[in-house]
Chains A and B, each alone.
Chain A
Amino acid sequence: MEKIAPNIRSARPDGDRRLVITWKGGAESIVDVSKLLADYEVFAPLRDDDDLFRKVTVGEWGWCCHWSDDLEMSSDTLWRLALEQGSSWLRAWRAVHTMTQAEAASALGVSPRMWRYYEAGSHLLPKTVRLAGIGLDAQARAA
């Protein structure tokens, strides 16, 4: 039996075909849905219409992002994308810094075990860890 993703507390559009999703429990993810929109014919209106895309709402009981009866993305799908994209973001960050997992974990103040979970996509990358990576880069540039 597969696990059910948490439901969605709130969602807002962010930039070009990205959603900022706050999950039940308070974790926040930026989810790029451009590939999902490109892959399915039914999503054509959301590909073509910026204003429509910005009208995202949370479906009843938080189980989807909703635009119309046909235009919905389930919380399962969005959760999977959030895990995948958090993982790729973190791996890309570490690759730029040519660090081992242990070095990167130490640099951002995360336990090596949690770092492995984030990179494996088995745990959602916390907003704080992403911001810590961005913050470290900003600090390095300012120095």
Chain B
Amino acid sequence: MPRHFHIEGRGFRAVVEIKTMAVRAGNVRKAAEALRWAHDNVALLQTEWLRLNRKA
């Protein structure tokens, strides 16, 4: 999987690619607010992805 984040809620989840904000899986119909936040915080998402995916 390319660098991505998850949006999760009751009964739905989506996987979104950070670079393109393309929805790789699931649906974001209920996630407009989270997606807007993600658009405004791309740098933070990148940093966190790198931190959490560092190989041992």
Contacts and interface: CB of A to CB of B under 8 A. Distances in A.
Contacts, number: 45
Interface in A1-32: 1-4, 7
B51 A42 contact: yes
Size class of A's contact patch?
20 to 34
A41 B56 CA distance: 4
Interface of B: 6, 8-11, 13, 15, 23-26, 51-56
Given A40-B53, A42-B52, A61 B25 contact: no
Interface of A: 1-4, 7, 38-44, 59-61, 63-64, 70, 74-76
B56 A39 contact: yes
Contacts of A38: 56
Contacts of B8: 59-61, 63-64
A43 B54 CA distance: 10
B24 to A, nearest CB: 6
A63 B56 contact: no
27 contacts: A1-B23, A1-B25, A2-B15, A2-B25, A3-B25, A4-B15, A4-B26, A38-B56, A39-B55, A39-B56, A40-B52, A40-B53, A40-B54, A40-B56, A41-B55, A41-B56, A42-B53, A42-B54, A43-B56, A44-B56, A60-B8, A61-B9, A61-B11, A64-B8, A70-B52, A74-B6, A76-B25
Contacts of A42: 51-54
